[in-house]
Amino acid sequence: MSIWKQRVTIDHLNRLNENTMGASIGIEFTSIGDNYLEATMPVDHRTVQPMGLLHGGASVAMAETLGSVAGVLVLENTDQQAVVGIEINANHLRAATEGIVTGRVEPIRIGRSIQVWRIIIRDEQNRQICESRLTTMVINRGA
């Protein structure tokens, strides 16, 4: 049984991502499961730090993008409610210097006012390079 309350496609998610920071650093949604979303991001000139390693900020931006989108998709009424991030942390576990990384978001807790999301980012060899946790708050639009 799916946790998603909004009906969306990969194409729709990627259109929502247009003209955002996520699009600027190359994030593309690739998969929707019953309780997860996945996206990819290139390790390239947009996402590395001066030593050529994937920038921790790029990993955190990917995590927040995945978690925030997931948070919206579990809302009953997006005309009246929105989701805002209130805390994020990330453990950078392994360096990535090239290729594409894949992030996967899954819920830890989906409450009426607080959501907690786990985001794992892996390299092309399926090695975990980052684990992040995002807490979001559900707010009333216009509040």
C-alpha gyration radius of the chain? 15
Please give the model's pTM, rounded to 2 decimal places: 0.95
Catalytic residue IDs: 64
Q: What is the phi/psi pair of residue 55, to 5°?
A: -70, 135
- In sequence order, the β-bridge partners of residue 105 are 37, 119
Tens digits of residue pLDDT in 12-69: 999 999 999 999 999 999 999 999 999 999 999 999 999 999 999 999 999 999 999 9
Q: Helix, strand, or coil here: 111? A: coil
Count how many residues are written for the chain. Answer: 143
Give the Cα separation of 119 and 134 in Å (integer). Answer: 8
> What domains are there in the chain, each with its CATH number?
10-140 (3.10.129.10)
Spatial CB neighbours of 111, under 8 Å, sequence gap ≥ 6: none
